[in-house]
Amino acid sequence: MNKENIKTITNDVVKLHFLMEEYNTARQRRKRDRDHRSHGYKILKRSTSKEQQFYRYDDSSSGSDSDSSSTFAIPPSASSSEEEFVASPLSRSSSGKSKHTPRSNPHKVEITVIGAIDLAARDSNGLSDPYCKVKIGLQRARTKVCPKTLNPQWEETFTFIVDSLDDAFVKFKVMDYDRGFRDDLIGYCELNLSYFPQEDAHVFTEKLVDESSTESLGSIKFSITITPDPHSTPSPDATSHEYSPLSSPTQPKKQIKKQTTYDTFVNKFLNSDKLDERENQRSTSPFQERYLTGVLSVTLVEAQNLRPMNKDGSSDPYCKFKLGHQKYKSKVLRRTLDPVWKERFEIRVYSDSSNLLEISVYDEEFGFSDNFIGSAEVNISDLEESKTYKREIELDNSGGVIVCIFNLSNISENNTESGCELTPEDFVSLRKTYALSYNPLHYLTYNWENVEDVGVLVVKIIKCIDLPEAETIIGTSDPFCSIEVENTQVRTPTLYKTNAPVWNKQFKFHIRDIHSTLNIRVFDEDKNKYNFLGGVKLPILEAHTVHRCLLKDRKLERVAFGEIFLETELIYNPLRAAIKTLLPCEENLMYEEPKFKRNLFMQNFKRVYALANIALSLGLWVQKIYNWDNRPKSALFLLFYTLLVATFELYMVPMFAAAVIIYEFLARWVGFKSFETWILNTESQEQLHKDEDSDEGEEFSLTAKMKMVMGVCQTVQNSLDYVASYCERVKNLFNWTIPFLSFMAATFLITGTIVLYFIPLRWLIMIWGINKFTVKLRNPDYEENQELLNFLSRLPSDVELNQMRIISKDSSKSKRGTLKSRRHK
C-alpha cells in the first residue's frame, strides 16, 4: 500500500468523522431547542438582511405579570442562509441593546455559584442535600454538598477557558446527594455564554427545569465574569477557526477539542512534529504551571461534646477534611460523643490550591445518608511554616468542639534556601538566651518566667545513601525525610528518582522537655501512599554532634537498608530543664495503646521473667549467706547487719541509694564489677544468654508457638490466682470467716502491741536478724519456715468458700423457681 492510498483512506475517514460530528451537533441543537421551549423561550428566525434586526421576547409563557415585551438587538450574520436563534433575556443591556459581538478568541470565564432558592425536596425528611455541577463543553466543576437545606449557599468560584463564546453553553445541574445510592436530579438550566456581558461581573437568577417534573424546582443564583484570556494568542481573523485548542495553555489534556476544519485535522494527523511542538508550548506555559508548594500535616486528636444524633443519645462520628479537590476521611468511632481518633493526614498544598481547609463531622448511618453534625473552616494562610499549632475549633450548629494540630512544611522545589537556616551569630544569640544566670536575683524572674521554653534543638538533615529501591522497575525511589519532636512534625522536599538524596535542610524545634526523643523516618512518596524506607530514634540529650546512623525497620529493632547523615545541636537552660523534669510530661497525641499480639505478649513476658530472675538470684544469694556456705562472708555480713541496725537513722536511706548510683557510675567508667553482676550468678547468666540465643536462631512451627502461648498464659493465670487468693485470705481474716484463726490473729496483734510499746523496734529487728543468721549454726538440720505465709494458707479464699458453702433443700427449690421465672421472661 503506497502513500497515496494511505492518504485517500485517511481523507475518507476524516470526511466520515465530520459527517458524524455534524449529525451529533444537529441532534444537540434540536434537544437544546426543546429545553428552551419548555423554559419559555421562543425560537425565532434570523433575517438574511445585513442590517441589525430587533426581536421581541415573549414573557407570557413564563408567567410574568408584565404585559410589555422586551426588545433586544441581534447583530448581522456573516452567513446569508437562515439559521435558528434562541432569544434569551440575559442578552439584554440596560439600554435595551445587546452587547453581542463575534467572539471567536479564547476567553476566561469565572463563574461564582452563589446559591439556590426554594429547591425541591428529594429526601424523606422534606429537605435535600444539594450540590451543583457546572459544565462548559468538556470542562466540569462541582460545589460542596450543603446537607439538609432547600436554600443552600455555596459561594464557590470556578474558572474555565472557552475557545469561542458563540457556540459555548454553560450548564448548571443541581443534584441531591444520597450516600450509597444514585444522586437525584433536582433541576438544571443551560445558557449561551455569547449573550452574557463582558468584563463586568453580573449576578443572575435562573429557574431550574426538568422535563420529567411539573413541580416548581427552584432557582439558582450565580455570577459570571467573561474576560479575554491574557495568556492566549488572538486569532488574526475573528471569523476563522485557525485557533487550535491544542495551543490553549489552560486546557487539560483530556479536554482538548478536536479541530473544526478538515485541513487542520489532516495536517494534525499527518504532521506529528507540529503536534509535539504545540504540546510542549502548552505544558511550558506559565498559566498552566501548577507545582507543589508545601505539605499540611493535620493531626486529628479528638472531639468534645458532639451533638447526639442517635436515639440512645450517642453518635457514630467520623471527620472529613477537604482542601481543594483533596479529600480525607477518618475512621468511625461507635457510640461516643467524645471520640479520640489520634490520626494524622498529610495534605498537599499546591500553588493554585484554596487557602480554606474544610472540616466536617458526620454521624454514620448504615443504609441511609449520614447525619451532619457540624463543620468549620481553617485558613491555612494564617499558619507559619515549620510551626506547630494546637487549636480547639468550634463546629457550627452547636455541633461541638474538635481538637486538631496543624503544621505547614514548605517543600517547594523552587525554594532552594532552607526556611530556618541559622548563622553563627544566631547560635551565639540562642546560647545567650538560654544561658544559666548565676545572679541569685535573676532566679525569681529570668529563669522561672518561661519554664516551658527549655531550649532549642537544631537538626540538619544532610543526606541518605544506599536507600532501598521502592520502584523495582526503575530501580530508584522518591524519598523524603520526616522529622518529629514532641508532637511537632516537619519534612524535607521530595527528591525524585534517586537512592542517595542530598537535602542539606536545617530545622529548628523549641524544646519543652529535654528527655523527649528525635524521631526521623524516611519515606518513598507514591501517588496515594507513603512507603516506609527506614528510621532512627535518638534521645535529645545526646543530640550534640554529627551522626551517621544505620536506618532501622518500622519497629526500630533491626537494621534496614541505607544510612542517614545528620547534624544536631541542643541549646537549653539546665535549671528550666530540671524544673520541667519534675512536672508532668507532655502527652504524645499520636500514641495508641497496642492491641494484643502474640509477639508483643511474649516479649513483655520475657521482660518480666528477666526481672523476676534477678529477684530470685538475690534471694538465693541471701539464702547462701544464711546457710553459712562461706563462713567468712556470712560472719562479715552478720557484723555489718548488727552495726547497721544499732546505728540506723532515716537519713541513711537516701545516702545508701546515692552510694549505689555513684558506684554504678564508677563501674561503667572505671571498670568495676556492677551490682547486677554480683547478684546474678554465673549459671543463671549463662542460662539467660542460652535462652536468648535459642529464641533468635530457632524458628517455631505454628503448633509450637501455640504451645508457648498457652504455657505463658497458664503461668500468668496461676500467678494471678496466687495473688488474688492471698489478698482474699487477708480480707477473710479480718471479717471473722474462720473465728479460730481470727481469734489467734487478734491475740498475736495484741501481744505484739505490748512488746513494741516496751521494747524498741531497733532491738527487736536485731534479735530477729541474729536468730536468722545463727539458726544454722545452732541446728544444722533446721528447715526454713515461713510462719506468716503458713498461717495465711489456713484461711480459705472466696472461691474455696463458695465451694464449701452448704445448700439446703429449701434454698435449692427457691433458686430453681427463680431460674424458671427468668426463662419464661
- Please tell me the predicted confidence (pLDDT) of residue 244: 35
- Please tell me the predicted confidence (pLDDT) of residue 230: 65
Is the pTM higher than 0.85? The answer reads no
Determine the Cα–Cα distance for residues 638 and 644; give it in Å rounded to an integer.
Answer: 10
- 110-146 per-residue burial string, b: 16 or more CB within 10 A, e: under 16: ebbbbbbeebbebbeeeebbbbbbbbbbebebbbbbb
173: which residues sit within 8 A by CB, 6+ positions away? Answer: 132, 133, 134, 135, 185, 188
Q: Consecutive 10-residue runs of the chain (825 residues): their mean pLDDT?
A: 65 72 73 57 39 37 38 37 38 38 68 91 84 89 88 90 83 86 87 80 87 86 84 45 35 39 45 42 42 84 90 90 89 92 87 85 85 90 82 87 87 51 85 74 56 87 88 76 87 88 90 89 84 90 79 88 91 86 78 72 81 81 82 87 87 88 80 63 50 51 76 83 90 90 92 91 88 82 81 89 76 59 56
- Please tell me the predicted confidence (pLDDT) of residue 583: 84
Contact 535, 565 (CB under 8 A): no
DSSP state of 246: G
- Please tell me the predicted confidence (pLDDT) of residue 745: 92
The C-alpha angle 70, 71, 77, rounded to 5 degrees, equals 140
**Of the candidates 490, 484, 479, 485, the residue with the CA atom closest to the CA atom of residue 532:** 479
Lookup result for grid cell 466543576: 141
- Please tell me the predicted confidence (pLDDT) of residue 45: 39
Q: Is 164 left (phi over 0), alpha (psi -120 to 50) or beta?
A: beta
Determine the Cα–Cα distance for residues 399 and 95; give it in Å rounded to an integer.
Answer: 50
DSSP state of 353: -
**Of the candidates 491, 561, 495, 496, the residue with the CA atom closest to the CA atom of residue 533:** 561
- Please tell me the predicted confidence (pLDDT) of residue 290: 60
- Please tell me the predicted confidence (pLDDT) of residue 521: 92
316: which residues sit within 8 A by CB, 6+ positions away? Answer: 309, 310, 332, 333, 334, 335, 363, 364, 365
Reported for 740-744, long-range contacts at CB under 8 A and 24+ positions apart, including other chains, are 741/791, 741/794, 741/795, 744/791
Locate 39 and state its grid cell.
423554559
**Of the candidates 427, 441, 420, the residue with the CA atom closest to the CA atom of residue 508:** 420
